[in-house]
Amino acid sequence: MGGYRNIFSQVMTFVVALALCASAWADGMADGDALRERYDPDLQYGLEAALERLALDDDVAREKLCVALIDITDIREPRVAEVNGDHMMYAASLPKIAILLGAFVEIERGRLALNQTNLDSMTRMIRVSSNTDATRMLNLVGKRRVNRILQSEKFRLYDPVVNGGLWVGKEYAQGAAFQRDPLHNLSHGATAMQTARFYYLLEAGELVNPRLTRIMKSMLAEPGIKHKFVKGLDGLPGVKIYRKSGTWQHWHADSALVEAQGRKYILVGLADDNRGGEWLSALAPELHRLIVPTRLASARVR
């Protein structure tokens, strides 16, 4: 009888845990996480076909490549496609966008000054990926404070229900990690879908107030490092890109909000391979054409 009670107790514990996860997921759906309801079969087919053309489908199958593509031309009706979207990977400097968010949340709350020194520091952190400025801003916001903001009910940009997300657990400097992520033990991590949610919430005006949103977005403009997505989209007509990338050893990450020819989309790629930067450069124009068809671009240029 005691063994039966133990089994029953374990089953009930599992059922309760499952119910809590389902409740958390439902709350997320009701509270602005619109992307997970908006998978588009045509866009998904186009993404997978592009990966196959580029001979990257095997790398996707091995979870060495994660991609999220979201058409937000109509922000109220996003169209979503992804592969390994909730697979968390080391993302190098890409999670500096989490420090940016933390800083602007504290600015909005009156806890951090919106002065020229901080503006310049954040701009360098994003555009040229300054490690010195990233570490400075991380410490101004508070190391653990950034991760609390990411995990907060308002943002849920790191959420165990969807396998994590954006995480900053180490300064961008020598030294040990101060808080590795609880699911994967990563110091600087991301998933493609949670990174895409950052840009979606930014564009929807759901991160900070409209004035601060404009300033945040301006810092993501004019990328100073011309590789990966920036290299792949170079020369395409009318492209404006808001972007943060990351590279360390064989990990390559890029993330962008792209505007072109009246269309707008979010693209995120995470790769665990020495060739990852080349993969992302090759992938960007292929996926761009799914959102901005060549015939449309040609017609607008004339």
Q: Are 227 and 211 a contacting pair, CB within 8 Å? A: no
The pairing of beta strand 240-248 with beta strand 158-159: unpaired
Q: Are 228 and 252 a contacting pair, CB within 8 Å? A: yes
What's residue 143's pLDDT? 95
**Alpha helix (H) residue ranges in the chain:** 2-30, 41-53, 57-61, 96-108, 116-127, 131-141, 143-151, 192-203, 210-220, 229-233, 276-291, 294-301
Which of 244, 192, 205 lies closest to 81 in space, CA to CA?
Answer: 192
Q: pTM, whole model, 2 decimals? A: 0.88
Tell me the domain boundaries of the chain: 1-30, 39-301
Q: What is the pLDDT of residues 147-198, one digit of tens each?
A: 999 999 999 999 999 999 999 999 999 999 999 999 999 999 999 999 999 9
**Per CATH, the architecture of 39-301 is what?**
3-Layer(aba) Sandwich (3.40)
User: 269 has which bridge partners?
Assistant: 67, 254
Q: What is the pLDDT of residues 88-132, one digit of tens each?
A: 999 999 999 999 999 999 999 999 999 999 999 999 999 999 999
Residue carrying structure tokens 């997978």: 48
